[in-house]
Structure 1
Amino acid sequence: MIINALGEKDDTSPHQKKLKLVQLLRSINDQLVSSDLSEEAMAEACKQLELTHVRLSGFSERAYQAVFAPSDDGESAELGYNAKTLQGLYTPVSGCCNAVASEVTYFTETSEAHDPVVAHVCYGKAFEGGPGLVHGGFIAALFDELFGVVQHRQELPSMTGSLSLRYLKPTPLHTELRYEAWVVETRGRKSTMKAVLKNGDDVLVEADALFVTVLRKNYQKLVDQRVAVAKGGS
């Protein structure tokens, strides 16, 4: 039973208005990589997309939103992730507002803060590496992102120190897959974590990671610098 559905859709979010467009872009990309399109169809699609590109151009850059921005009083400011899902909105790995990302659902199966965080995903044709198989680089990217979600859940702004994977079996496309990640040990600012990728009960990939918590003042500097860039500063 899912106790804490990190991937539950938040219909009140203003970002929901982008979802239909993002889903259409993903669908178009799937058709491009999986279909032998006619020249006529591609020429017509190019015309329509050129018009869409012009229509969407010229708007100001969105305000930068950090995935996790700590405040001075020790509480996190919900700037860059969905408050209900802990999911980055624009990350290229699982962001629901980024068309290059796969569609990922995060959740936990208990309410305990240190229990595993799970990700469900079904990789389509756009993520193919070997014939009928998921590209290993995308598998690694989601492991890295999931470890980050584990840390964000505990309000620890962290960065990857090391990431090691063991590919035990090929990972199939068009299959409901399950990632599981958990903290093994925390010593000071360093957290050792493990994760697995499963197809049913079959373990396909194992992962180990070391994440290092960033000092709040240093993380805030990064946020401030990125916000300045988004506003056109130096």
Structure 2
Amino acid sequence: MSPQGLSLQDRAAPDMVCYCCGPAHPTGLHIKSFWDEGGQHVVTRHTPRPEFTGFPGLVYGGLLAMLVDCHSGWTAMAWHYRDEQREPESSPRIQCVTGNMNIDYLKPTPMGVELVIRGQLEGHLSRKSRVLCEIWAGDVLTVKASTVFVRADTDRLRAMAHGSLVGATHLR
């Protein structure tokens, strides 16, 4: 847990409106990510709400992918803040976006169980960093994922997506 007791999301981006991890989303999941005691993993816990049932009694796989995506992104950002020896509240804000995500659904994930999602950096931290993520339902590993997160200027990405950057054809 952070010295202030607040999650990475609450510290770094209290105004973020992402459905999964944004503290400011009015009806979102509001996942909260923290460094573990050993400082090697970033961890969050989440108990899926009934509307995220896939097959009866099982968690919808799309929710699991969303949890992996957001938590892995926060894992990458946490490592960038640490590497720069900065607190998450500091400016400028560090932002990472999903470059690639591969998920292995190993076992069915049961509803009604608190999930523990653990992320860790694999290899060296750089502009494009690999994050490994696991979802545990009790003592059962149900999901393993490998993601690549890219440190990015999200204002520029937003402008590109809305056609505001003339001549921009790809990320640089």
TM (norm. structure 2) is 0.72
Residue in 2 aligned with 1:20? none
- Residue 222 of structure 1, CA deviation: 4.1
CA deviation string 1:109-133 (max 9, x = no partner): 2374xx2110100001111111111
Residue 137 (structure 1) aligned with residue 75 (structure 2): no
Q: Which runs of 4+ in 1 moved over 6 A?
A: 223-226
Partner of 1:7: 7
- Paired residue for 1:204, among 130, 139, 142? 142
Partner SS state of residue 123, structure 1: coil
- Residues in 2 aligned to 1:159 and 1:190: alpha-carbon distance in whole angstroms: 10
Change (3 A) 1:7 1:223: same
Unaligned 5+ segments in structure 1 are 9-80, 230-234
Q: TM-score scaled to structure 1, two decimals?
A: 0.54
Q: Given the alignment of the two structures, is residue 221 of structure 1 paired with residue 156 of structure 2, yes or no? A: yes
Determine helix, strand or coil for the equivalent of 1:161: strand
Tell me which amino acid in the other structure corresponds to 1:128.
T
Q: Deviations over 1:69-112 (max 9, x none)?
A: xxxxxxxxxxxx522x7666421113343244224232222374
> Which runs of 5 or more residues in structure 2 are unaligned?
82-93, 165-172
Aligned pair count? 148
Q: 1:88 to 1:195 in 2, by over 3 A?
A: farther
Which AA in structure 2 matches 1:119? T
Report percent identity of matched pairs: 25
Aligned pairs (5 A) from 1:143-162: 143-153=68-78, 154-155=80-81, 156-162=94-100
Pick closer, same or farther for the CA change 1:94–1:220 going to 2, 3 Å: closer
The structure in which a higher percent of residues are helix is 1
What RMSD in Å do the two structures reach over aligned CA positions?
2.9
